[in-house]
Amino acid sequence: MSISANNPDRASWLHVDKNSDFPIQNIPFGVFLTRDDIVTIGTRIGDTAIDLGALHQLGYFDGIPLTDDIFLQDTLNDFIADGRKTWRLVRNRIADIFDDTDDTLKNNKKNKEIVLFRLDEIEMQLPVQIGDYTDFYASKEHATNVGTMFRGKDNALMPNWLHLPVGYHGRSSSIIPSGIPIHRPQGQTLPAGATVPTFGPSNLVDFELEMAFITTDANDLGEPIPISEAEEYIFGLVLFNDWSARDIQKWEYVPLGPFLGKNFASTISPWIVTLDALEPFRVESPKQHPQPLPYLQLGGKNSYDINLEASIKPQEAKETIVCRSNFRYMYWNMAQQLAHHTVNGCPVNSGDMMGSGTISGPTEDSYGSMLELTWRGEKPLKMKDGSERKFIQDNDTVIMRAFSENDDVRIGFGEVKTKLLPVYEK
């Protein structure tokens, strides 16, 4: 089935700013609370949010096999479970409804009042109930930088790293949508030179610039997903800030990997941009040496050209961009991650989320964490207001943005934005 929604010649009868992340070719999916306090599944064109539950009730999806309440839910899990064919039919239909050559809804004032919302009339929610969350460690530059800091240049990459996409099982209970503030975590750390730990606030709170993909029901227990089919099971992507407490992480991580230094909060952007919408931005993955084992081999363009940036906004000052990177730098692509994740028969469900790991590029200004940007705090970053940052300070807001762009169209993710509050006090 063709993805007619992606046609770059389409224009919408809804207003779309020239540099909007959300032209009619995007059509992301999210969940929001409306001005009437009703939760619904929706999409967005320009700065207009569209209530898909109401559109469906009004008959605009007639002819597409959908249950009556598919969009009247507080998560996208059931819609995602309907599979890629349904996602395409729905995206194509939405594109037609809002195409400037179609007058049906455009000329129906009453229906428009029911289904269209300004962004300040809605409140974005988590788009999916995330059952399981896995975080990979898939950027070679990031793994090399962190490995160099902890083990020296010659042992930077562990012996397994070039042979498999390293990952760990994270925790979904602390994944939150953009806009919700978090508190500086407390925990055990081992001060420099000490032999016993102390308890207190983390002094090294950091962001991790990541993308994450959301899966559909993919396989049964025991059944691996072949790499050639892996992308069929990826619904879409979100921007992902995987907050990290480096001092807690450093003391606790041996031998089982990340734990409390990672699971106090992770923030996602609220609109899931479909893999279909990103189709025009496919690029080749970085060359892999040594060649991976056959179950991880895949020819063709399996990475995506997505520009990424992270900035820090101090409480009373303008934001400063501290990093510009790109999703295409990832050494292990999403298809390889999903094939590896399921090669032992581990089932993947609708609404599961897989983080890419910090996406660092080759240059010093493309590193995706403060740990790397300031090289463990040795090279502080200058903010626009004259202050310096080694890590994130109380009341700083971290903002990330992502978009793909070619001569025809720009497909973006909007922002993921989180303020770090001081330690929680009752």
Give the number of residues in contact with Mn ion, rule: CB under 5 A.
Answer: 3
Residue with token string 């990330």:
400
- Pseudo-torsion of CA 386, 402, 40, 174, nearest 10°? -60
Nearer to Mn ion, 221 or 256 (CB): 256
End-to-end CA separation in angstroms for the chain: 55
- Residue 183 CA: distances (Å) to CA of 200, 266, 351: 13, 12, 26
Q: 135 or 319, CB closer to Mn ion?
A: 135
| Position with the least CB separation from Mn ion | 242
Catalytic residue among 15, 56, 142, 289: 142
Rounded Cα–Cα distance for residues 58 and 209 (Å): 40
Rounded least distance, CB 279 to Mn ion, Å: 26
Per-position x/- string for 205-234, each x denoting binding to Mn ion as judged by CB under 5 A, each - no binding:
---x--------------------------
Q: Which of 21, 99, 135, 206 binds Mn ion (CB under 5 A)?
A: 135
Please identify, using beta-carbon distances, which residue of 99 and 242 lies nearer to Mn ion: 242
Percent of the chain that is helix, strand, coil (3-state, to 5) = 20, 25, 50
CB of 25 or CB of 269, closer to Mn ion: 269
Write down the least CB distance from residue 240 to Mn ion, Å: 8
Quick one: tokens of 202?
């983390």
Considering only 133-141, 144-152, 297-305, 417-425, which stretch makes contact with Mn ion by CB under 5 A? 133-141
The contact mask relative to Mn ion for 230-249 (x = CB under 5 A, - = no) is ------------x-------
At 187, is the secondary structure helix, strand, or coil? strand
**Secondary structure of 368-422 as H, E, C letters:** CCHHHHCCCCCCCEECCCCCEECCCCCCCEEEEEEEEECCCCEEEEEEEEEEEEC
Does the annotation count 341 as an active-site position? Answer: no
Pick 409 or 416: Cβ nearer Mn ion:
416
372 is a site residue for Mn ion (CB under 5 A):
no
Residues carrying an active site annotation: 142
Q: Which residues bind Mn ion (CB under 5 A)?
A: 135, 208, 242
